[in-house]
Amino acid sequence: MSVAEMLRTHPADFGGIDRDVLRRCIEECVACAQACTACADACLAEPDDVLPSLRKCIRINTDCADVCETTARVLSRHTNDVELTRAVLEACATVCRSCADECEQHASHHEHCRVCAEACRRCEQACREVIDGLAAGAGR
Amino acid sequence: MSVAEMLRTHPADFGGIDRDVLRRCIEECVACAQACTACADACLAEPDDVLPSLRKCIRINTDCADVCETTARVLSRHTNDVELTRAVLEACATVCRSCADECEQHASHHEHCRVCAEACRRCEQACREVIDGLAAGAGR
Amino acid sequence: MSVAEMLRTHPADFGGIDRDVLRRCIEECVACAQACTACADACLAEPDDVLPSLRKCIRINTDCADVCETTARVLSRHTNDVELTRAVLEACATVCRSCADECEQHASHHEHCRVCAEACRRCEQACREVIDGLAAGAGR
Amino acid sequence: MSVAEMLRTHPADFGGIDRDVLRRCIEECVACAQACTACADACLAEPDDVLPSLRKCIRINTDCADVCETTARVLSRHTNDVELTRAVLEACATVCRSCADECEQHASHHEHCRVCAEACRRCEQACREVIDGLAAGAGR
């Protein structure tokens, strides 16, 4: 991915957010969205007797994919509305945590859930780091 | 749109959210997303001397379109994770308010901004009604 | 939805596409996307013994929701690249037909599939009308 | 990104598409979508006298981001409808080529357009490789 290059070549600055923290969060959101879309589909491909137990996992995976993609897009734009950015990041961190919690319950049986849960934890953490940076930036 | 029919024919219930409140919120999110995408493009088509003053409007419109679409999708699924649903709705209400505030500043000059601001206000209100319903449902 | 108002207030013209044909296609894409997201979730809520037979339906519904949303967005922008617009519309018509075919197989058992199939048929038809208009416009 | 791991842990096979070709295409679609969103925003941040010349670039970038994200999602699901998959890939290749052509016109003045054009070229190429694989698989 060319996230770092796109940040480097953007003509504007970033409203006080550290560029590496921002880059990492965009990368984790994009990776988590893909993992969640793939995990929902992998759950759907599990055997008939297992499939019903994965309903909730499929739904949360699909929600999480949507929210992470939106968050990656919002962070890729320099909207510079701190309240808007924080609200989206808070939603993303919350959804990633819910999705990680759900996927972890299936991680011992389904490796795709284990991989996806890890992507969600990293993404949640990356969102919280940007939120912390926003708070520090707003105080300047 | 067939939002009402799709809600009526869904085999599950809705975790205590009133079906009409939910329907209205999905419809407003979908309508607001389309209005915001169209308003961003209409701003981009304004004359050269006006265009630079619409940068922030284009960005917030595009963010708002993404967040409203994601919210419509999350509400169309019965994920039944109250915390997740509330977090997404709070983000959507916040973004709609920012977008309405920005569009209103251009409403007297650009009718597309006036129409879009109204769509954002309706969507923010519809999100808040579902949030209120979630709070009441959680108390049962 | 304010699709007609947003088209009316856009400062640019539409590259020779009839405004009512364009409006109808945007509206049908948006409606079809929502119906498909809701139908995928309704399928997922069907009883354990039925759920496995709906795997393909859930997947095509989700694909169709994504493609219809993207098509609505592309049509809401005046990109005026006829080849690009046609390629996206052709993909949307193809996906809508596949989704309608699949949903119709379940329509007698699941009313949500019947409603969704109708939305897909309307959307496919609306896409074909814009494609026909593009061809006529290009011939001018 | 965990694309390779998610493909490896998926319980189903891939309808005859080579797994590495599929992985590469998903990765390029995701990377191209992010680059296009960032390039549209970077264009929007260019000086007042340059901005009007970038209108078309902003629009195509935004279209391309939407189409690439949708394509990444469709490829991450095992829908196994060859006609549907091919239609989406054809649209994506077409849009990536248009976006690369447009960005290249600005590449000497704006480095973000140069980086984005390269991402679009790689994505177009990766889509065409999957299309070729679909044709070969269908002939078996």
pLDDT tens digit sequence for C79-118: 889 999 999 999 999 999 999 999 999 999 999 999 999 9
Cβ–Cβ under 8 Å, residues D45 and A10? yes
D96-to-D1, D63, D102 alpha-carbon distances in Å: 22, 9, 10
Q: What is the CA radius of gyration of chain C?
A: 16
pLDDT of residue D13: 80
- State the best of C44, C53, C63 to mutate against chain A, taking most chain A CBs within 10 Å: C44
Q: How confident is the model at residue C140 (pLDDT cuts 50, 70, 90)?
A: very low
Q: How confident is the model at residue B135 (pLDDT cuts 50, 70, 90)?
A: confident
Angle at A118 between CA A99 and CA C56, to 5 degrees: 55
- Kindly report, residue by residue over B112-133, the tens digit of the pLDDT: 999 999 999 999 999 999 999 9
Question: Among candidates A70, D120, C75, which has minimal Cα distance to B73?
Answer: A70
Identify all chain D residues contacting A69, using CB atoms and an 8 Å cutoff. 69
pLDDT top residue among C8 and D79: C8
Q: With CB atoms and an 8 Å threshold, state whether B6 touches C115.
A: yes
Non-local (6+) Cβ contacts of D47 within 8 A are: none
Q: With CB atoms and an 8 Å threshold, state whether B112 touches C10.
A: yes
- State the best of C34, C37, C48 to mutate against chain A, taking most chain A CBs within 10 Å: C48
Cβ–Cβ under 8 Å, residues A13 and A137? no
Question: Which member of C41, C48, C59 has the closest CB to residue A44?
Answer: C59
In this predicted structure, the answer to whether residue A138 has a pLDDT above a threshold of 80 is: no
Structurally, chain D folds into a number of domains equal to 1
A124: left (phi over 0), alpha (psi -120 to 50) or beta: alpha
Smallest Cα distance from A17 to chain C, Å: 30
Average pLDDT over chain A reads: 94
Residue D10 domain flag: no
Cβ atoms < 10 Å from Cβ of B84: 24
Please tell me what DSSP assigns to residue C9.
Answer: T
Q: How confident is the model at residue C138 (pLDDT cuts 50, 70, 90)?
A: low
pLDDT of residue C139: 44
- The CA distance from C36 to C60, in Å, is 9
Nearest chain A residue (CA) to B76: A63
Cβ–Cβ under 8 Å, residues A77 and A25? no
Coil, strand, or helix at residue C37? helix
pLDDT of residue D138: 56
Non-local (6+) Cβ contacts of B99 within 8 A are: B36, B60, B61, B63, B64, B116, B117, B120
- The contact set of B with C (CB < 8 A) is 1-3, 5-7, 9-12, 26-27, 30-31, 34-35, 37-39, 41-42, 45-47, 65, 69, 72-73, 76-78, 110-112, 115-116, 118-119
Q: How confident is the model at residue A34 (pLDDT cuts 50, 70, 90)?
A: very high
Identify all chain D residues contacting B45, using CB atoms and an 8 Å cutoff. 55
Show which subunits contact D, needing at least 3 CB pairs below 8 angstroms. Answer: A, B, C
pLDDT top residue among B135 and A116: A116
| Structural domain boundaries enclosing A41 | 18-138
Half-sphere exposure in the Cβ direction for D22 (13 Å, CA): 24
Cβ–Cβ under 8 Å, residues C64 and C40? no
Smallest Cα distance from B55 to chain C, Å: 16
Q: What percent of chain C has pLDDT over 70?
A: 97
Angle, nearest 10°, between helix axes D82-106 and D19-44? 40
Nearest chain C residue (CA) to A44: C55
pLDDT of residue D105: 98
Query: In the predicted model, what is the mean pLDDT of residues D69-92?
Result: 95
pLDDT of residue D32: 98
**What percent helix, strand, coil does chain A show, rounded to 5?**
80, 0, 20
Query: In the predicted model, what is the mean pLDDT of residues D18-42?
Result: 97
- Complex confidence, ipTM: 0.95
Q: With CB atoms and an 8 Å threshold, state whether C88 touches D95.
A: yes
Alpha helices per DSSP H over D3-138: 3-8, 19-44, 55-76, 82-106, 111-138
Residue B83 domain flag: yes
Residue C68 domain flag: yes
Non-local (6+) Cβ contacts of C107 within 8 A are: C113, C114, C117
CATH number at residue D68: 1.20.1270.360
Q: How confident is the model at residue D74 (pLDDT cuts 50, 70, 90)?
A: very high
Query: In the predicted model, what is the mean pLDDT of residues C49-57?
Result: 98
Smallest Cα distance from A60 to chain B, Å: 6
Show which subunits contact A, needing at least 3 CB pairs below 8 angstroms. Answer: B, C, D
- Kindly report, residue by residue over A57-115, the tens digit of the pLDDT: 999 999 999 999 999 999 999 888 999 999 999 999 999 999 999 999 999 999 999 99
Q: What percent of chain D has pLDDT over 70?
A: 97
Phi, psi torsion values for A2, nearest 5 degrees = -105, 30
Query: In the predicted model, what is the mean pLDDT of residues A9-14?
Result: 87
- The CA distance from D31 to C131, in Å, is 30
Average pLDDT over chain B reads: 94
A3-17, B11-25, C110-124 — most confident range: C110-124
Question: Which member of C39, C73, C110 has the closest CB to residue B37?
Answer: C73
pLDDT of residue B80: 84
Residue C2 domain flag: no
Query: In the predicted model, what is the mean pLDDT of residues D81-92?
Result: 96
- The CA distance from D53 to A51, in Å, is 53
Residue A87 domain flag: yes
Q: How confident is the model at residue B139 (pLDDT cuts 50, 70, 90)?
A: very low
Residue B11 domain flag: no
Residue B40 domain flag: yes
